């Protein structure tokens, strides 16, 4: 028996809930699990407590051909208004162990990134100052080679533990991950990051903390804080900066600050942020993204690409600019 196209088949749901897989919720609104506060229900959302539980769930989903999506805090995700027909695996606070040994940090994928940065600072370990203001979990940070100030966490990664699509645990090195700007080979492998080992440089704890305080102060001044948002919507690269400038500047110069569709608005504070002004739907956000891209392309001939990822009802993940037209309808 396999999952139906509309929802997880009841016999399979009963089997799943009988497994030792951590905390499980049925028909869970995904708006509760992303920073945009947008998204319909998932058939099942699971919060595992161990690597073994993650592997067990992956094997179950594979055996029964059930769509499976792995998330952290959902800070870079836009869930469809219809939700997800299948299983959403959320690696968060239940898998957030962190240990520091000398210059190395071994952390589970659910560790909150600002907490990781502060623990490194407390231990006098430098190199992670740029992640202090990133409101996500380590697993997603590694997968996307996230960071700020044109740096990425891949600079510090020495080993990554993953669960592969067959449910086997593997250990990968930096050469396997092939980190590049806001990308890693892990995305194409279809693996789930469950823990990582990071290597940092010794430093003065006070100097490291001062750098983090400065970063947070700049963020508070530049970025929207009150309205729900996903951070930067459009991808920024060195080539783009050199050629046409950063996305926020391009969008602002196109006169799009404050542009609103439904409950979604281009932030008046920073044009590369789209905020949920209240009741925004995924369709509102996607239409606004499409409008921004069209205006920018008509104005300067540049094709903006999205950093934020859209999740369709079949648990498929893609850049939001590649969302199908059907998703634009509420």
DSSP one-letter code for 101: E
Catalytic residue among 47, 108, 197, 307: 307
For residue 296, the SS3 value is helix
Q: Count the Cβ atoms, other than its own, within 10 Å of residue 257.
A: 16
Tokens of 303: 């094709």
Torsion over CA: 308, 272, 73, 80 (sign)? negative
- HSE-up of residue 144 (Cα within 13 Å, Cβ side): 26
The arrangement of strands across the sheet holding 68-71 comes to 23-29, 41-47, 84-90, 68-71
Give the H/E segment covering residue 58: helix 51-63
Catalytic residue among 159, 182, 219, 305: 182
**Active site includes 122?**
no
Catalytic residue among 184, 232, 267, 281: 232
Pairing outcome for strands 157-163 and 77-79? unpaired
For residue 41, the SS3 value is strand
**Active site includes 182?**
yes
Residues annotated as catalytic are: 182, 232, 307
């Amino acid at each position: 028996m396999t999952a139906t196209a509309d929802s997880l088949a009841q016999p399979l749901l009963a089997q799943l809930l009988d497994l030792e897989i951590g905390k499980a919720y049925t028909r869970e609104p995904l708006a509760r699990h992303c920073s945009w506060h947008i998204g319909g229900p998932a058939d099942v959302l699971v919060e595992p407590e161990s690597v073994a539980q993650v592997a067990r769930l992956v094997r179950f989903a594979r055996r029964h051909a059930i769509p499976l999506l792995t998330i952290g805090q959902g800070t870079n995700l836009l869930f469809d208004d219809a939700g997800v027909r299948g299983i959403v695996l959320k690696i968060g606070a239940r898998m957030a162990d962190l240990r520091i040994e000398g210059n190395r940090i071994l952390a589970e994928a659910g560790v909150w990134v600002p907490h990781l940065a502060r623990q490194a600072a407390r231990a006098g370990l430098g190199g992670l100052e740029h992640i202090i203001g990133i409101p996500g979990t380590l697993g997603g940070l590694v997968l996307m080679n996230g960071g700020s100030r044109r740096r990425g966490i891949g600079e510090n990664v020495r080993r990554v533990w993953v669960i592969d699509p067959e449910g086997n645990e593997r250990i990968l090195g930096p050469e396997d991950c092939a980190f590049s700007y806001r990308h890693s080979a892990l995305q194409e492998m279809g693996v789930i990051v469950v823990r990582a080992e990071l290597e940092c440089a010794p430093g003065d704890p006070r100097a490291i903390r001062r750098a983090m305080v400065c970063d947070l102060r700049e963020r508070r001044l530049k970025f929207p804080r009150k309205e729900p948002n996903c951070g930067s919507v459009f991808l920024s690269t060195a080539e783009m900066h050199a050629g046409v400038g950063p996305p926020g500047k391009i969008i602002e110069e196109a006169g799009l600050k404050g542009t609103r569709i439904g409950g979604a608005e281009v932030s008046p504070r920073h044009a590369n942020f789209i905020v949920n002004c209240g009741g925004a739907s995924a369709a509102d956000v996607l239409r606004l993204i499409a409008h921004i891209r069209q205006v920018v392309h008509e104005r300067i001939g540049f094709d903006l690409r999205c950093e934020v990822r859209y999740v369709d009802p079949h648990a498929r993940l893609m850049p939001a600019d590649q969302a199908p037209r059907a998703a634009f309808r509420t």
